[in-house]
Amino acid sequence: QVQLVESGGGLVQAGGALRLSCAASGGTFSRNSMGWFRQALGKAREFVAIISASGVSTLYEDSVKGRFTISRDNGKNTVDLQMNSLKPEDTAVYYCAGSNKPYFTKVTSTYDYWGQGTQVTVSS
């Protein structure tokens, strides 16, 4: 089973940037789609960005397009989320997740393993 550990969260002013990193250990990371999801206080967990096993395909939630970039390094077993032009509405706990499914999906419930989450707070 793959284990995930996120890092890089914190407090930033609106318009600033943060880079989240997720380190994977165990399992077959390079064969799995990976994603970043977030959960704001009182809201359901939602998809932010996903990347295919090869890294060739990516998909973004509409509100983060052009501001966030997901990337992965299969040699280092890491997946990152570069977040630029942050807004207060980006405030949430951000989770890294992986899917063993043979298809590329943004559906939260289809992801098989999750990290513990890292808090991102954007002040206005």
pLDDT for 104 equals: 84
41-69 pLDDT, tens digit each = 999 999 999 999 999 999 999 999 999 99
Q: How far apart are CA 18 and CA 94, in angstroms?
A: 12
pLDDT for 28 equals: 85
pLDDT tens track, the chain, 124 positions? 789 999 999 999 999 999 999 999 988 888 999 999 999 999 999 999 999 999 999 999 999 999 999 999 999 999 999 999 999 999 999 999 999 988 888 999 999 999 999 999 999 9
Complete edge-to-edge strand list for the sheet that includes strand 78-83: 3-7, 18-25, 78-83, 68-73
pLDDT for 112 equals: 93
